[in-house]
A and B are shown apart, each in its own frame.
Chain A
């Protein structure tokens, strides 16, 4: 089972190598990938150097070009695919049917992974992407229960990668327009959710802090209450007479407990979310997962996550809380 780590810059990539990543996924510094944040990601030159460094350590590098190209951006998105091929990445992560078709036709030997943004949640959908675009691997959306993942894995025509840890999208990825409804920019179109440029914080005299996204009140915190980033699905809203986290509370996905089941199901790779995270975060999270995966592979029947590992991951999580997310029916 392969450990797939994020890297938002060359330092993070080096840290991921040192911390035991088998594979590192990256993006270019523009809207062609789903973590298009200011100051993040790689120029082609930086990526070339990082690929050399990773390959020197026997670590693979993937490039995510996993947003959707619109007509005015097509040449730019296509050129990102061309760059991936020219730079010698070990695979390209795509979601757009147009780009998948282009990549399959132009670079048949460049391995294609279906991004989580491609929203393939069934064997039939995987067969579609495999038969028509020759994908080697698919990243499964974070909407499936463990039993559903196991069922899909039993018949999947491609390698499967699942999310192990990090920020939790509670909506089917690639099919969530909440961010563009509120701001005009979405993961599909702009590579960003609840983008920072639309965030505003207001503090009133009594210390109440309000977070807004393009003017919409996402949450309000009493003086001294810990305030989180206004990701709009994690805000507090009012439905009928109840005000609470209507969709989801701030929390992170953590599947350390499920490693043996995922391994036995034949999952090829565990992905850590967080190309926007700091090198320090990546060092800690990758180290925990490296050790956990190694223990699981050595003796899956004896595997149990160590309390210290879980505590370290919780401390790094949104709201200091973790969840099994959709893997557990009770969350759904």
Chain B
């Protein structure tokens, strides 16, 4: 794909734990939206089972019938053998491309000779890593969230034309860290093993403020996210020029389907005027600054 082609719109895996009906309603809207690709699956916590792997695969069939490219996304932090079973089920689904979010998934896919896409936490920071994984079957990768635009361009130039497709996380709360500890359970004074799945009450995560009342982070089970919403959409032309073949929107329950449509309209008109930065958005990583910084775009 050349840099002048407009990027495709990808809906990343949902990071939150929503009730089943909300999840299905969300993806019904995504199915009717301008999104090109949809990543499905539980990537944060294996205990979240409103949808099980077979349910995600069934949902994938519906979205594929609606004309979407479907990718199944695997658990990011894999600790127990039972969790590996879930990863294996997704990897060996037999129908859809898989996003490997951990080297364990890469290994399972490689052993089967299956192509894969590499998630943002495979830590590909240079062209040598990119090409090594390409040679093992990686046909697409998601840039590490903390890399900047100039580094992406340099990395892709060094990789040459036979590189995998590039996806850039362009909108949503940034997944920043993964832990053995569940912070939502800790907040509710519950042991992780008896957490009561309380994260289902937080469809957009639970805000963490400094003691000066500044929104700093977000807790979402074992995951810690940015407090601010990372938003590079007004700079979509710059992302495309830097080599982004796909722009990832990370699901937010009320917002993402409309945002996908707004982005598609802006790209069709070759404009950015309809895409705006909110006062609480951040964009620092793209400019090589602190991720939380708000730097005007485009």
Contact = CB atoms under 8 A, between A and B. Distances in A.
Interface of A: 68-72, 74, 95-99, 101-102, 118-122, 124-125, 127-129, 131-132, 142-145, 148, 151, 170-172, 174-178, 180-184, 186, 188-189, 214, 216-218, 220, 233, 236-240, 242-243, 246-248, 325-326, 329-332
A63 to B, nearest CB: 19
B183 interface: yes
Contacts of A171: 177-179, 224
30 contacts: A96-B129, A99-B128, A121-B78, A122-B104, A128-B106, A131-B107, A132-B136, A151-B81, A171-B178, A171-B224, A175-B121, A177-B174, A178-B176, A181-B176, A182-B291, A184-B284, A184-B293, A188-B144, A189-B146, A214-B290, A216-B214, A216-B292, A238-B210, A239-B208, A239-B219, A246-B217, A246-B219, A247-B224, A325-B180, A331-B181
A-side interface mostly: mixed
B124 A97 contact: yes
A13 B3 CA distance: 51
Nearest to A127: B107
B46 interface: no
B123 A148 contact: no
Contact of B226 (A118, A132, A181, A233): A181
Nearest to A102: B128
Contacts of A132: 132, 136
Contacts of B191: 329-330, 332
B223 to A, nearest CB: 10
Interface string B74-100: 001111110010000000000000000
Contacts of A218: 210
A276 B170 CA distance: 36
B214 to A, nearest CB: 7
A248 B126 contact: no
B108 interface: yes
Contacts of A145: 79, 180
A319 to B, nearest CB: 17
A47 to B, nearest CB: 24
B147 A70 contact: yes
Interface in B279-298: 284-285, 288-293
Nearest to A131: B107
B181 A172 contact: no
Interface centre among A214, A217, A325 (most CB of B within 10 A): A217
- Among A120, A175, A242, chain B packs the most CB atoms within 10 A around the CB of A175
Q: How large is the interface on B (under 10, 10 to 19, 20 to 34, 35 or more residues)?
A: 35 or more
Contact of B211 (A243, A248, A330): A243
A97 B132 contact: yes
Interface of B: 76-81, 84, 102-108, 110, 121-130, 132-133, 136, 144-147, 151, 154-155, 158, 174, 176-183, 186-187, 191-193, 206-214, 216-217, 219, 224, 226, 284-285, 288-293
A172 B103 contact: no
Nearest to B207: A239
A332 B180 contact: yes
Contacts of A236: 211
B128 A188 contact: no
- Of B132, B147, B179, B219, most A-chain CB atoms within 10 Å: B179
Nearest to A104: B132
B79 A143 contact: yes
A177 B145 contact: yes
Contacts of B226: 181
Contact of B77 (A70, A97, A175, A188): A175
A188 B121 CA distance: 11
A311 to B, nearest CB: 26
Contacts of A69: 125-126, 128
A214 B292 CA distance: 10
A180 B176 CA distance: 9
Contacts of A128: 103-104, 106-107, 110
A101 B132 CA distance: 7
B155 to A, nearest CB: 5
Contacts of B105: 124
Contacts of B207: 239
Residue of A70, A74, A180 contacting most chain B CB atoms (<10 Å): A180
A4 B103 CA distance: 26
